[in-house]
Chain A
Amino acid sequence: MSIEEKENKKDIYILGIETSCDDTCASVVKNGSVILSSVVSSQDEIHRKYGGIVPEVASRKHIEVIDIMIKEAINKSGIDTSYINAVSVTNRPGLIGSLLVGVGAAKAICYARNIPLIAVNHLKAHIYSNVLAHPNIRGGFIGLVVSGGHSSLYIVDDNYNMELVGQTVDDAVGEAFDKIARYLGLGYPGGPIIDRLSKSGNSGCIDFPRPMINSGDFNFSFSGLKTSLIYRTKKDKKLMHKENIPDLVASFQEAAVDVLVEKTIRACRKYGMDKILVSGGVAANSRLREEFGKRCSSSNISVYIPPLSMCMDNAAMVACLGYYEYLKGNFSSLDVDVYSRTDF
């Protein structure tokens, strides 16, 4: 780091820590937009044999690597810990045993360095993955967060105040993908596998229901869609044959994507917005990205989806959100707790 840079007091460096689910993530972001480092220790390999995330296993793994990941993020960023202005950490919602590893580490750094702690909402951080990718986005949009744990629709005003307008009443969409992949013996995580197989399948082959598409609200349901697939395959065993799997999962994916895109656009119209920000692990789904692009352009709505690397859980988005909270002086006390569920 040059002397000029050291003396430039305007630069704000935020260390982000994210351990809400199964990935141990740390990142250093400068001024809310320049990612100096973003490291992830993925546990996919470990959870693959169980076909899903086992919370106790996730927590055991986090505590093994948390300090290693933080050190790596600092080292790769090229700055010394003494330049960190604040630590931003996910403290809600998520798996308690996972969250507390990251929050414990964040508190320790803040206490030892006497810098502010910023405890943030994981879902809000996902929405900020778009702000990180497109720093000029103004407030006033509909935010859709879709992942293995969440399927939620938010209305975000000009000042980035968020209000939940709808969410899944049962399974998260990514969870449904994982469960279907496990049922069909395709592996874990289910989302990318189904995405890949669907490319060679006919999505119109089976007409799956579009759950709650006309429910009148902005909630989702994916459990029934999953059950529908299971019933179809029980009735017609041929569907489970290897050559029919692409058609089956493409049709399933199409139904899920259709509901997500349709209801998000309807919410956008109802609340008079002209922007949609999509984020979360399922935002990496190629069909979802394609369909949002297509239908939004025909409706004169701008849609923003972060690059694939920013869709999955990462700490850069946590640091980015932390930067904006830092500017507002929204700091947390060092006795902040962790929460499995929460509202904004």
Chain B
Amino acid sequence: MMNILGIDSSSRNLSVAVSRDDKLLSEVINHESSKHMVNIIKFADKALYKAGLSIKDIDVFGANLGPGDFTGTRIGASVIKTLSWVEKKCAYGINSLDVHAVMCAFKNKNIISKSLLNDRPVAIAPCLDVKRSEVYFSFYGISEEENDVCHKSGKKIVAGMIIGAKKYNIKRIGDYHLANKDELIEKFSIFFENEVLKIQDKEIAHVNPAAIVCGSSCVSHKSIMLDLIRSSSFILDKRPLCSQARYVNLCSYFSALEKVEPKNLVPVYVRDFVPFGN
């Protein structure tokens, strides 16, 4: 049994959640403020109180390290790495794309379960608008736990979910990508020609693979995204959702289960910072 405290300060919404294994015990969310520095400890304290735990009971810490709001991710990283040091526990920094993918899987559980029960593969592609007309994205597949070949194929399990009575893994396929419009379209087409069909190993060549595209790009790069999904049976999840701590906890839980080596918590930046533009 593992108690987890996770923070998501990567967007304008600050959230802190407390979980036991993959079960959420409490979550405190602020929907309008950007005062993360002011609220962060108060929220952690409130979430622990609601869960009936104290900070000493926490076994694993987690933080969404972005990409996201620079100020927010720094606050989250600073607080979580220090808490875990004082408490002598491990802390995981979770990439924002992983958090978005897991959130998307849970928010679209109905659609996903229908496809999976019909033996149709489902992929999730969170796409974040990272300015300068570029998109930061990655691909995720969902498959039954017992069939999982992740360790052999270099795919990383980011979290799990239960559909019906079966356990499924949400796993990242390949790397995180930073791409402009053309590169994005190319990566998508390669992925859906090769990966989705292969991982499921089913005779479904006659059916278009289903995928859910989510993240801020669905709103701000709408025309690109519509182009992208025109030829396939994709769904665009257009709700402009900020990521949430409960999904950070799920990712942290699976990182701990998988015995991932914790690293120095440093925010994820999609580009190197170049002062004065030279």
Contact = CB atoms under 8 A, between A and B. Distances in A.
A81 B266 contact: no
B37 A103 contact: yes
Interface stretch (A124-132, A319-327, A333-341): A333-341
A164 to B, nearest CB: 25
B82 A337 contact: no
Given A60-B269, A63-B266, A100 B74 contact: yes
Contacts of B237: none
Given A66-B78, A97-B70, A56 B273 contact: yes
Interface string B68-93: 00110011011111110111000000
By DSSP majority rule, is chain B's interface helix, strand, loop, or mixed? helix
Contacts of B35: 337
A105 interface: yes
B44 A100 contact: no
B74 A104 contact: yes
B75 A105 contact: no
Contacts of A100: 37, 71, 74-75, 78
B33 to A, nearest CB: 12
A334 to B, nearest CB: 4
A163 interface: no
Contact of B41 (A63, A66, A67, A334): A334
Contacts of A97: 70-71, 74
A67 B71 CA distance: 17
Contact of A108 (B39, B82, B266): B82
A76 interface: no
B38 A335 contact: yes
A335 B41 contact: yes
A107 B81 CA distance: 12
A11 interface: no
Nearest to A74: B85
Nearest to B269: A60
A157 interface: no
Contact of B55 (A64, A112, A338): A112
A71 B273 CA distance: 28
Contacts of B80: 108
Interface in A28-67: 50, 54, 56-57, 59-60, 63-64, 66-67
Contacts of B55: 111-112
A104 B79 contact: yes
Contact of A105 (B42, B71, B79, B267): B79
Which of A50, A54, A96, A335 counts the most B-chain CB atoms under 10 A from its CB? A335
A63 B77 CA distance: 7
Contacts of A238: none
Interface string B19-57: 000000000000000010111111011000000000100
B153 to A, nearest CB: 32
Contacts of A337: 35, 37-38
A101 interface: yes
Contact of A67 (B37, B38, B75, B81): B81
B215 to A, nearest CB: 24
B72 to A, nearest CB: 10
Given A104-B79, A112-B87, 11 more contacts: A56-B70, A63-B265, A71-B85, A81-B86, A103-B37, A104-B74, A104-B78, A108-B83, A111-B44, A112-B82, A113-B86
The 4 closest A-B pairs by CB, nearest first: A104-B78, A108-B82, A112-B86, A105-B82
26 contacts: A50-B275, A54-B273, A59-B70, A60-B266, A63-B77, A63-B266, A67-B81, A96-B71, A100-B78, A101-B78, A104-B37, A104-B82, A105-B82, A108-B41, A108-B83, A108-B86, A111-B41, A111-B45, A111-B55, A112-B55, A112-B87, A334-B42, A335-B41, A335-B42, A336-B38, A337-B37
